């Protein structure tokens, strides 16, 4: 890799404020999952571009649980270990719809700004 050129496949940190949205969407689409499973699924969906450490995911899960957007229940993981499985709640689905709408509006604005910036150069 040439010096100064970023590798497109380099692992990235999650854009601040988007992890909760991605976790809610993952739980909506896949049903109950444990924290490790959520983190691995998001990394897989990002084609390994995202780098999620366990602490960050569990902090987000706790925040979502305290807000009432997810609930947790103990169960057995694939390898028969005790694990907390998280599920999205009805209020979590409403929050997901709101955050999705907000994200689409903001990302549209960012897209317009980037197009404008490239047209001016």
| pLDDT given at position 13 | 59
Which pTM value belongs to this model? 0.81
> Is residue 61, in this structure, part of any structural domain at all?
yes
What does the pLDDT read at residue 104?
A: 94
Q: Across residues 89-100, what is the average pLDDT?
A: 97
The answer to whether residue 111 is domain-embedded is yes
**1 pLDDT more than 70:** no
Contact in structure between 21 and 42 (CB atoms under 8 Å): no
Q: How many domains, the chain?
A: 1
How sure is the predictor about 16, in pLDDT bands with cuts at 50, 70 and 90? low
Domain that holds residue 28: 19-120
Q: Could you tell me if residue 56 is inside a domain?
A: yes
* Element (DSSP H or E) covering residue 19: helix 19-30
pLDDT > 90 in the chain, percent: 68
| Residue 14 included in any domain | no
Write out pLDDT tens, residues 33-90. Answer: 999 999 999 999 999 888 888 888 999 999 999 999 999 999 998 889 999 999 999 9
The per-residue pLDDT of the chain, averaged, comes to 87
HSE toward the beta carbon, residue 121, CA cutoff 13 A: 6
Q: What are phi and psi of 61, to 5 degrees?
A: -60, -40
In a domain, 8, yes or no: no
CA distance 36 to 40: 6
Mean pLDDT of 88-99: 97
Span 8-13, mean pLDDT?
Answer: 50
Query: Closest Cα to residue 20, out of 76, 47, 60?
Result: 60
12 located within any domain? no
E strands, 1-121, in order: 33-34, 70-76, 82-88
In CATH, what number is assigned to the domain containing residue 70? 1.10.10.10
Task: Answer yes or no: is 9 within a domain.
Answer: no
Q: Is residue 54 part of a domain?
A: yes
């Amino acid at each position: 890799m040439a010096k100064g050129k970023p590798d497109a496949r380099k692992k990235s940190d999650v854009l601040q404020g988007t992890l909760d949205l991605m976790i809610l969407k993952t739980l909506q689409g896949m049903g109950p999952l444990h924290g490790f499973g959520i983190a691995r699924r998001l990394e897989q969906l990002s084609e390994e571009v995202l780098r999620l450490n366990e602490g960050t995911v569990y902090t987000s899960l706790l925040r979502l649980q305290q807000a009432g957007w997810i609930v947790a229940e103990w169960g057995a993981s694939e390898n028969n270990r005790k694990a907390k499985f998280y599920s999205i709640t009805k209020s979590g689905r409403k929050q997901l719809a709101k955050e999705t709408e907000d994200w689409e509006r903001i990302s549209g604005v960012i897209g317009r700004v980037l197009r404008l910036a490239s047209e001016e150069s």
